[in-house]
Chain A
């Protein structure tokens, strides 16, 4: 039995196998494995008695339930109009420089994925971003570099 099989089974035991438990299970798998692998979606489909296409269809609706490979730390920079006004561009540039990847990409060591996302609820403190679930606000290029350095050494 594979690790993913065990994980999904445990989660289904914990949350249940009815459709309403699908979201918590998908969220938990993403938390553990950074994104939903093909294997994980197949296992979830089996456990829930639905088709793999339905699992994929549901997951792909939600921006945080990634079905593409993601790094350990997913950086989501807010791209709202306020963020844009407050210097989002410079933040992205700083991140791209320090991580040596473009938006949408993952570092070769699979540590970081850089994405943009819609309003994350910090328009009073833009620019802002999430690293996994942790928000960082009032960002400056310098601040961003420090944050990344800190995460790199984690």
Chain B
């Protein structure tokens, strides 16, 4: 197969440093611009959130900017916990200054003076280095007279805290349980104040849109999926690692480049994403028009049991559910016991249909994205690999 269809990009890492001689030239330019114009830029860039849910970033900022409260917050969601995702790790290690710059741009747009990076506890090892960069960032913006401060907070091992309202509960010193929505964070977020929360990569994209200009940025990607994306590639691949690729690629092109020649399925978007079987590689687009992803691409070859894969995901969900809502807490346990029973033959094959119906209900009744998305991998694995599920 021809892998030339895959366009490798370098927007996020490296090529346009936004920090020169300990100065942030983009930032200096940005703070002299009208916030509304910048928000317009972001809207026109078509940038959608890179955490997985894909909410239009510019729109989110516009809502937050329109809030009249004087106290507002910006949060960078660095609680990267999705199985198979590690791209934020590389961004945080390699270009943290771009994240801070993106947050500062946001602060100018929505008029916030305080920002937080919620860093997952598993990444505590990078805290000293991050704080060093942050210190010089603070120093350089202080010189420009701009009032904005970022604080890095640590998580303590809870996947669900990647959900934005759980993350805020956690920041407030509570159990990381998702809140009822509405109100949404742009109206009532951290400390019940208007809050913009974006993924690490989203903030970097914002900085780079300012650096490159909208016209340059929109050259990448498709109508629905503008720009490039940082992918975390793992599993049965000769080239595991972090790669930046243009959005809107065909999964078949991806597999041609990163597969081991025997790829049977790709889990797009981590445990909460979709499992795409080989027969669908050709017609699967990676992007918001097709299968969206926060970046996780896990490849499985024909030696792998998809039952084991699903079972591993379900154990993960059952453990990492916050446990407050019925469909997620009990639903996950039922799915675990259910596929076990079918596998060992104590329930017949039809029981899988009952479980599929159950996941349909979980999808529409769970309180947050975690419980709602369990259905994704369950449905895509059970329907595509049914023969591996049964006794």
Interface residues of A (CB under 8 A from B): 18-24, 26-27, 57-58, 61-65, 79-82, 84-85, 117-126, 130, 133-135
Partner of B240, one of A24, A26, A123: A123
Does any Cβ of A come within 8 Å of B31's Cβ? no
Partner of A22, one of B120, B173, B233, B308: B173
Q: Is the CB of A62 within 8 A of B156?
A: yes
In Å, the complex CA distance between A121 and B120 comes to 10
**In the assembled complex, how far is the CB of residue B172 from the closest CB belonging to chain A, in whole angstroms?**
5
Partner of A123, one of B159, B171, B234, B322: B234
Q: Is the CB of B154 within 8 A of A27?
A: yes
In Å, the complex CA distance between A21 and B320 comes to 23
Q: Is the CB of A117 within 8 A of B157?
A: yes
Known interface pairs A64-B156, A119-B82, A133-B124. Does A81 touch B309 (Cβ–Cβ under 8 Å)?
Answer: yes
Q: Please name 11 further chain A to chain B contacts, defined as beta carbons within 8 Å, in addition to the given A24-B153, A118-B316, sorted by A numbering.
A: A58-B174, A61-B322, A80-B83, A82-B235, A118-B157, A119-B85, A121-B86, A123-B232, A123-B234, A123-B235, A135-B125
Question: Which of B172, B191, B234 is most buried by chain A, counting CB atoms within 10 A of its CB?
Answer: B234
Q: Which chain A residues lie closer than 8 Å to B170 at the CB level?
A: 23
Q: Is the CB of B153 within 8 A of A23?
A: yes
Question: What is the chain A residue whose CB lies nearest that of B127?
Answer: A133
In Å, the complex CA distance between A61 and B159 comes to 11
In Å, the complex CA distance between A123 and B271 comes to 13
Known interface pairs A118-B316, A121-B86. Does A64 touch B121 (Cβ–Cβ under 8 Å)?
Answer: yes
Q: Which chain A residues lie closer than 8 Å to B300 at the CB level?
A: 85
**In the assembled complex, how far is the CB of residue A110 from the closest CB belonging to chain B, in whole angstroms?**
21
Does any Cβ of A come within 8 Å of B158's Cβ? yes
**In the assembled complex, how far is the CB of residue B191 from the closest CB belonging to chain A, in whole angstroms?**
8
Q: Is the CB of B86 within 8 A of A124?
A: yes
Does any Cβ of A come within 8 Å of B178's Cβ? no
Q: Is the CB of A61 within 8 A of B83?
A: no
Question: What is the chain B residue whose CB lies nearest that of A21?
Answer: B173
Known interface pairs A20-B173, A121-B120, A124-B232. Does A82 touch B153 (Cβ–Cβ under 8 Å)?
Answer: no
Known interface pairs A23-B154, A80-B312, A85-B236. Does A121 touch B173 (Cβ–Cβ under 8 Å)?
Answer: no
Does any Cβ of A come within 8 Å of B304's Cβ? yes
